Amino acid sequence: MIANILVALVAALHAYFLEMFLWDKPQGLKVFRNTSEKAAITKVMAANQGLYNGFLAAGLIWGLLHGNPAFAFQIKAFFLLCVIVAGAYGAATVSTRILLVQALPAAIALVALFLA
Question: Packing angle between helix 104-115 and helix 2-16, nearest 10 degrees?
Answer: 160
* CA 71 – CA 85 distance, rounded (Å): 21
> How much is the pLDDT for 83?
96
Q: What is the largest CA-CA distance in the chain?
A: 48
| Residue range 52-79, pLDDT digits in tens | 888 999 999 999 999 999 999 999 999 9
* pTM for this entry: 0.87
What are the pLDDT tens digits along the chain (116 aa)?
Answer: 999 999 999 999 887 666 777 889 898 888 888 899 999 999 998 888 888 888 999 999 999 999 999 999 999 999 999 999 999 999 999 889 999 989 999 999 999 999 99
Cβ–Cβ under 8 Å, residues 90 and 98: yes
> How much is the pLDDT for 92?
95
Instruction: Please write down the long-range contacts of 12-17, taking CB distance under 8 Å and 24 or more positions apart.
Output: 12/57, 13/101, 13/102, 13/105, 14/53, 14/54, 14/56, 14/57, 14/60, 14/83, 15/53, 15/54, 15/57, 17/50, 17/53
Phi, psi of 69 (to 5 degrees): -55, -40
